[in-house]
Structure 1
Amino acid sequence: MKNLVILGAGTAGTMMANHLVSKLPKKDWKITIVDQYRTHYYQPGFLFLPFDIYSEKQVKKEGKKYIPKAVHYIQKKIERVIPEDNTVALVDEILNYDILIIATGSKIAPDEIEGMNGPQWYKSIFDFYTYEGAVALRNKLRTWQGGKLVVHITEMPIKCPVAPLEFAFLADSYFKKKDIRDKVDITYVTPLSGAFTKEKCSKSLSYLLKEKNIKLEIDFAIERVDYEHHKIIDYVDNEIEYDLLVTVPTNMGDEVIGRSGLGDDLNFVPTHQHTLQSLEYQNIFVIGDATNVPASKAGSVAHFQAETLTDNILLYIKGEPLKEEFDGHSNCFIETGNNKALIIDFNYEHEPVEGTFPIAGFGPLKLLKESVINHWGKLAFRWVYWNMLLKGISIPFVGRNMSTKGKKLN
């Protein structure tokens, strides 16, 4: 019997387990998935935790519940991958593989910036990209009476590139509801040359920052945090003062990738951007945030990747050429506050475009346009995630590749 091993039981790994369990012949293949953590988090929900929109119970469940029973589940720490031997070393056993799928995700690395993960971490400096950070920030915001709020991105790439902007927009609404918006000065600080990661979005949606009185600081390459004087400082000694710093630290691939010598400087695995095969080892495939492909690190991307990767695993087993099919497709809801949201749809080739989604000419969602229905679509995605996405069920009318029908491409 041959062995297919999946490293990581997060969004991407769980989806692959569900896709493959019904497609690989059980008499020939054993599927094993490994993850050291028991809890599965709905990470898009971390954005809502600080504002008491979601509760803690709504963003976490037992991960094993979503792994098919026919898949061998191991809850242990992964020490390293030894690709030359086709083995994975766990804390107390060795796994052999014929095919390896790396779905180890990414995580924040606040230690990369001097002073960030210091005495003020979770006191006046917070992240919301972790469950612990989002809960700590929620507790802080419940009693915070105002001052200088700085929402900051350290460097790209990051998971869900629009989430920091969403946080700033939701903060504006949150403080208005608490009737202290006039006591809060919000500044959005980015290393990019515009507020959005996509140029077209920055041009067409910059009005949102002005409308909400959110200051914008661009091209800010942070060097250190002066937590004693409540300042962030960049490499040319520009300083921005804060009373409350909500930062997105450097995002890096899992440490196991570094220990295994499989990654780049940020521990992301060099991956063919269309086939999702490792550039170095033919029997290793990579999915989700663990890759270095130039697509967004978001759940929707992993969902689209999983469909192509499933096909390519089956083709690889047959010895046939892989599909160079994945086009970087991503769609994303952007909360803009006041119970409204935008939705964007794009891929490697096309920037976010105007049009209708998911059905061409009908919608019911409109791209790059604020609406209440988009907001409810964002909130409904949590149900879709737990009941469809993780289980490998296709979302109606949303194809793995970006459709250009009903969209203005120029």
Structure 2
Amino acid sequence: MTTPRNLVVLGAGTAGTMIVNKLRRRLPREDWSITVVDKDDVHDYQPGYLFIPFGLNTPDQIRRTKRPFIHDGVDLVMGEIERVDTSSHEVRLEGGRTLPYDQLVIATGTTPRPDQTEGTLGPQWHCEVGEFYTYEGALALRDRLDRFTGGRLVVHITELPIKCPVAPLEFTFLADDFLRQRGLRERTELVFVTPLDGAFTKPVASRTLGKLLEDKDIHVEPDFMVERIDQDRKVLVSYDEREVAYDQLVTVPLNMGADFVAASGLGDELNYVPVDKHTFLATGYDDVFALGDASNIPTSKAGSVAHFSVDVFVDNFVEHVAGRPMTHSFDGHANCFVESGHGKALLLDFNYDTEPLTGTFPLPKVGPMRLLAESRANHLGKLAFRHVYWNALLPGRPLGLPAEMSMSGKKPA
């Protein structure tokens, strides 16, 4: 009887959980042992962080334990990852435990690093300087906004890439709606500060979203590369010495991949793993892949990208470990709901080569979602996705959406 080969997946977030659940169905148990490693048993529905500050999600709706979502045939190991030794094909955990692998998938995501920008982690952190990219930060910001009575509210992006690049815009639009409902909008100056030259990375979407910001009387401060936050004077300071004052700052810190990626010699300057953008195979390796937010693929770090890329990866992986060429290619497909306030949202659908287009999604003419335009259906679709996430996406059930971007029913904006 032969010894099973070892597949080790690092990270039991969205991508990692989908990978082990889908591959457990595809790989014979007598041939493959599957292990997934994470630091704790907490799984958050991260898109829900956006809604917590406005009281639109409750904490119990976005936080679950990981174990119920992991297939019975997968070993879930809790521990901090120290490093990957690619020469000995081992993952080393803190405390000395090692996990041998025949194939390794890195899916440890990306995390906000406020420690990387001078002055962020001062006495105002999670008070006058807030954030919503962590569970704790979203809860603290909820309490701050509940007591907010007006002033200068600044939403700020430190640098890209970040998880869900439309989320800062969504927060700004929802803040505008929130303040209007409370009769505070005329007493509040809303400012959106970005390192980009416009509202978003894709020019077509940037024009549409920029017009929304303008219509809502939200000032945009573009090309702002922050050097430090001066909490004593309550100002953002850029490298070109511009300053933006705030009464309440909502910052999106620099995002970085996991530290063990750097310690293992597998990452770029932001600890993201360089990979082939179509197959996710790590550069220079035939037994290491990186998926989800952990890789350096040039598209949004978003849940939809994890979903579509995992569908492509699973088919390729089965071919790869059988010694056959990988015949499937990821096209960079991403779609993102953009909450715009007042019970409406936009929907963007794009890939590596194609800008967001107008039209309908997922069905031509029928929709029911509209692309690059505000609608109530888009908003309801975003709200409904939380149920889909817990009950279909994570367990690895098919959603009926093709991984490849379809041009059917779309036209240039």
Percent identity over the alignment is 50
Counterpart check, 1:295 vs 2:295: no
1:186·1:214 contact (CA, 8 Å) conserved in 2? Answer: yes
2:199·2:207 contact (CA, 8 Å) conserved in 1? Answer: no
Aligned to 1:106: 110
1:339·1:375 contact (CA, 8 Å) conserved in 2? Answer: yes
Aligned to 1:118: 122
Aligned to 1:340: 344
1:350·1:409 contact (CA, 8 Å) conserved in 2? Answer: no
**In structure 2, C-alpha distance between the alignment counterparts of 1:96 and 1:345, rounded to whole Å:** 39
**In structure 1, C-alpha distance between the alignment counterparts of 2:125 and 2:362, rounded to whole Å:** 41
Aligned to 2:240: 236
**In structure 1, C-alpha distance between the alignment counterparts of 2:398 and 2:97, rounded to whole Å:** 36
Q: Which amino acid aligns with 1:359?
A: L
Counterpart check, 1:36 vs 2:51: no
1:252-291 pair list within 5 angstroms = 252-291=256-295
1:107·1:251 contact (CA, 8 Å) conserved in 2? Answer: yes
Q: Find 1:200's aligned residue among 190, 198, 204.
A: 204
**In structure 1, C-alpha distance between the alignment counterparts of 2:241 and 2:328, rounded to whole Å:** 45
Q: Which amino acid aligns with 1:402?
A: M
**In structure 1, C-alpha distance between the alignment counterparts of 2:179 and 2:332, rounded to whole Å:** 36
Q: Which amino acid aligns with 1:172?
A: D
Aligned to 1:72: 75
Measured against aligned partners, the alpha-carbon deviations of 1:212-246 in whole angstroms (never above 9, x if no partner) come to: 11101100010111110000010110000001110
Counterpart check, 1:174 vs 2:215: no
Shift of 1:394: 2.2
2:333·2:405 contact (CA, 8 Å) conserved in 1? Answer: yes
Shift of 1:323: 2.8
**In structure 2, C-alpha distance between the alignment counterparts of 1:253 and 1:241, rounded to whole Å:** 30
Aligned to 2:20: 17
Shift of 1:252: 0.2
2:235·2:243 contact (CA, 8 Å) conserved in 1? Answer: yes
Q: Find 2:97's aligned residue among 93, 96, 102.
A: 93
2:10·2:105 contact (CA, 8 Å) conserved in 1? Answer: yes
**In structure 2, C-alpha distance between the alignment counterparts of 1:296 and 1:31, rounded to whole Å:** 28
Query: Secondary structure at 1:84's aligned position in 2?
Result: coil
Q: Which amino acid aligns with 1:78?
A: I
Q: Taking structure 1 as the reference length, what is the TM-score of the superposition?
A: 0.98
Q: Which amino acid aligns with 1:19?
A: K
Shift of 1:178: 1.2
**In structure 2, C-alpha distance between the alignment counterparts of 1:372 and 1:406, rounded to whole Å:** 20
Shift of 1:77: 1.1
Query: Secondary structure at 2:108's aligned position in 1?
Result: coil
**In structure 1, C-alpha distance between the alignment counterparts of 2:282 and 2:247, rounded to whole Å:** 44
Q: Which amino acid aligns with 2:298?
A: P
2:315·2:328 contact (CA, 8 Å) conserved in 1? Answer: no
How many equivalent residue pairs? 409
1:170·1:335 contact (CA, 8 Å) conserved in 2? Answer: yes
Measured against aligned partners, the alpha-carbon deviations of 1:115-162 in whole angstroms (never above 9, x if no partner) come to: 011221112101100001101100111111111000000000000000
**In structure 2, C-alpha distance between the alignment counterparts of 1:407 and 1:281, rounded to whole Å:** 38
Measured against aligned partners, the alpha-carbon deviations of 1:267-287 in whole angstroms (never above 9, x if no partner) come to: 000010001111121100110
5+ residue gaps, structure 1, are none
Query: Secondary structure at 2:272's aligned position in 1?
Result: coil
**In structure 2, C-alpha distance between the alignment counterparts of 1:16 and 1:129, rounded to whole Å:** 24
Aligned to 1:51: 54
Shift of 1:324: 4.9
Measured against aligned partners, the alpha-carbon deviations of 1:233-270 in whole angstroms (never above 9, x if no partner) come to: 10110000001110001000011111211100000000
CA-based RMSD of the aligned residues comes to 0.9
5+ residue gaps, structure 2, are none
Aligned to 2:6: 3
1:294·1:348 contact (CA, 8 Å) conserved in 2? Answer: yes
Q: Which moved more, 1:329-338 or 1:73-82?
A: 73-82
**In structure 2, C-alpha distance between the alignment counterparts of 1:147 and 1:35, rounded to whole Å:** 41
Aligned to 2:355: 351
**In structure 2, C-alpha distance between the alignment counterparts of 1:254 and 1:214, rounded to whole Å:** 35
Counterpart check, 1:62 vs 2:52: no
Measured against aligned partners, the alpha-carbon deviations of 1:169-219 in whole angstroms (never above 9, x if no partner) come to: 000011111111111110000000101121101223322112211101100
Aligned to 2:153: 149
Q: Taking structure 2 as the reference length, what is the TM-score of the superposition?
A: 0.98
